[in-house]
Amino acid sequence: MSETNFAFVATSDKPQLPAPKGTTGAIGWVRENLFSSPMNTFLTLLSLFVVYSTVPGLVNWAFVNSVWNANSLDECRALTENGACWGVVRERYHQFLFGFYPSELYWRPILAFALLFVALVPALWDGMPKRGLALMGSMTFPFVAFWLIWGGFGLEPVSSTQLGGLLLTMIIGVSGISFSLPIGIVLALSRSSNLPIVKSLAVIFIEFIRGVPLITLLFVAHVLLNYFLPKGVNFDIVLRVVIMVTLFASAYMAEVIRGGLAALPKGQYEAADALGLGYWQSMRLIILPQALKISIPGIVNTFIGLFKDTTLVLIIGLMDPLGLVAPTLADQRWNGIVVELYAFIAFMFFIFCFAMSRYSMYLERKLHTGHR
Amino acid sequence: MKKMILPVALGAAFAATSLSAATAGTLEDVQERGTLRCAVSTGLAGFSYTDENGKWQGFDVDYCRAVAAAVLGDADAVEFSPTTGKTRFTALASGEVDILSRNTTWTYSRDADLKFTFLGVSYYDGQGFMVKKSLGVTSAKELDGATVCIQTGTTTELNLSDYFTAEGMSYEPLSIETNTEGRANYLADACDVYTTDASGLAASRATFENAADHIILPEIISKEPLGPLVRHGDDQWADIGRWVLNAMKIAEEKGITAANADEMAATSKDPEVKRLLGASGEMGAAIGLNNDFALVAIKAVGNYGESFERHLGTQTKVNLARGLNAVWTEGGLQYAPPFR
């Protein structure tokens, strides 16, 4: 066959035509995602209506008509008709952050907070050089933070009654979170252990804690312990609360991790045995890395729940951010202001809880190495 | 308070057995520690609140500061424990605090059953009702079938039920935990009536945007004598607390104020004033304090009337008239036994 028989030979690809109009770009996205069916159209319009009817009012209230420079609610009301009175936040924000901590010593909790992130780096970033050594350094963080916040050994001591606000939330939340995970892992392993004593102790502990409301445990920490301890032994109230919250969270953590352990196919355990690994080796190298990966959403869920549960301490009279609302409102200059304070507190909590949930999503994506 | 009596009583029993041997004396403990531990409310307008520097202020707080001044010579040597209606008695019974100054009503069962000693009446209150004017109600007797916002764990809860039963009326309770919550519910029309101590109602109403739209009904349905209290079993400590309160009242009767106390001590010819301020006699020594304990306390917080006017009086937003709380010479009930 000679080449001349062909009238036309394409020597290169034809240029691609653009996708039909209306299926790409902004319009395409809107069509695809917002108006793809009558139901979606309806929901879109409904959402637009809700946004339209709430957001402008909210923005006006929070930003446009709001008042920052006022020293009492009456001054605020004189300055604005329907705006937020952030004057109370301007005047009291340091109390909501630090409680009644002496203001000249604020650098100590701030330094402790900064060190928390330094200590977290080796724990959260697995590509870090010399990670093992750095992790050992992180282990000393609780002691350093304790020293910075409460003082002693050369620093001016600060009593627990002066702790409050977000500082108190962080103390209870961070210690609860960091201690409940290892305790939870130990409890979960104990509960799935073959040793009857270990197993039954773990079951009794977990079921007891899960059967009792957190508030009850807090009341025990606040009141009953005082009756049982000999007089003169003054066990710090914040420490008591931290212990109770940690125990409470550990029980839940143990069940979350046990779920992860149970989700692993039996073959994984048998494979570990077949390789000749001992119990601890198989747990460390094969079982736990997989079980913990599965449990991440549940673990972070427990963390966030724990962080928010710390507000319950207001019931035993500790001055966490919510607890500080009452004495602030009782000040006659601010008596009657409510929404602004709660909005400010909600904003603080949102920052921390949102950060935790974003980190957990990142971790899940990174560890998504299974065959699915 | 019914719910709390059993646990508190149990706790008190534990405390009594474990402490009876160990309690040398609260006074020694406080002096050794160098601070007074005083339980106050977590926040009640006029009675206890924090200022912008995080310092506790208020009528109940002033009393703690007066006791600290009398015992330790320093009104700022107080560690305040904010307590709720539920934790206050256990905090006191367990020895976590030395004295409770938290608008607490003096009742038989709290005195006898919970084993506390009330030190006197710092404020005579009574339970009242607040309604919206638009409801058209002018008397509490017209409240049949109303929804009532009521704080749990307080005597007001029991008074309310007593009153409605006695009047043969029915009501629907809406339980709330704090005054803030009660006010919010009332303003949001979740309940028709808000009931609590009349002082609390006045304080709440003062903060409403349209205070004139709300009325406090004329009926006062209970006696609420509020006062500080301590544990049973340490009479010396109770005497100290009682006489600091009395000293503040006597000081008002005699015209001693924070400003003129030193001068009165030096120049007054009135023998009772001289005894009170430590210028003559050995009065303070009898309760283990310095003879000028009252002078120090009054210099720190002022007399009863000064403290009242500063936090609750008509110049403040709480805006309470002295009423029953005027000294007896001016037609009130505040009547301190003689200081001799």
Mind listing the pLDDT tens digit for each residue in A272-328? Answer: 999 999 999 999 999 998 999 889 889 999 999 999 999 999 888 889 999 999 889
Task: Determine the residue of chain B that is closest to A330 in CA distance.
Answer: B45
Distance from CA of B94 to the nearest CA of A (A): 6
Chain A partners within 8 Å of B56 (Cβ): 327
The residue assigned the tokens 């005497």 is B239
> Which residues touch A86 (CB under 8 Å, ≥6 apart)?
A66, A67, A68, A340, A344
Query: Rounded to whole angstroms, how far apart are CA atoms A321 and A326?
Result: 10
What is the CB-side half-sphere exposure of residue A75 using CA atoms within 13 A?
A: 13
Chain B partners within 8 Å of A226 (Cβ): 94-96
Task: Determine the residue of chain B that is closest to A324 in CA distance.
Answer: B42
Mind listing the pLDDT tens digit for each residue in A103-141? Answer: 899 999 999 999 998 888 887 777 778 888 888 888 889
Strands B224-231 and B99-105: what pairing?
Answer: antiparallel
Helix (H, G, I), strand (E, B) or coil at A170: helix
Query: Rounded to whole angstroms, how far apart are CA atoms B39 and B34?
Result: 16
H helix runs in chain B, sequence order = 2-19, 26-33, 59-72, 88-93, 108-112, 155-166, 179-187, 198-207, 235-254, 261-267, 271-276, 293-301, 304-311
Indicate the helix (H) or strand (E) that contains B148: strand B146-151
How is residue A4 written in tokens? Answer: 């001349």
Please name each of the domains of chain B with its CATH number.
2-124+225-257+297-330 (3.40.190.10), 127-222 (3.40.190.10)
Q: Does B80 touch chain A (CB under 8 A)?
A: yes
Query: Rounded to whole angstroms, how far apart are CA atoms A50 and A47?
Result: 5
ipTM: 0.81
Q: Does B6 touch chain A (CB under 8 A)?
A: no
How is residue B20 written in tokens? Answer: 């009876």
> Which residues touch B250 (CB under 8 Å, ≥6 apart)?
B256, B272, B276, B336, B339
How is residue A19 written in tokens? Answer: 């996708």
- Cβ separation of B96 and A226 shorter than 8 Å? yes
Chain A partners within 8 Å of B48 (Cβ): 327, 330
Q: What is the pLDDT along chain B (340 residues), one digit of tens a residue?
A: 344 454 555 445 444 444 443 456 899 999 999 999 999 998 888 899 999 888 999 999 999 999 999 999 999 999 999 988 878 898 898 888 999 999 899 999 999 999 999 999 999 999 999 999 999 999 999 999 999 999 887 888 889 999 999 999 999 999 987 777 888 899 999 999 999 988 888 878 877 878 889 988 988 999 989 999 999 999 999 999 999 999 999 999 999 999 999 999 999 999 999 999 999 889 999 999 999 999 999 999 999 999 999 999 888 888 888 989 999 999 999 999 999 8
- Identify whether the C-beta of residue B231 lies closer than 8 Å to the C-beta of residue B49: no
Nearest to B11 among A100, A223, A336 (CB): A223
CATH number attached to the domain at A87-101+158-366: 1.10.3720.10
Q: Does B146 touch chain A (CB under 8 A)?
A: no
- Cβ separation of A326 and B180 shorter than 8 Å? yes
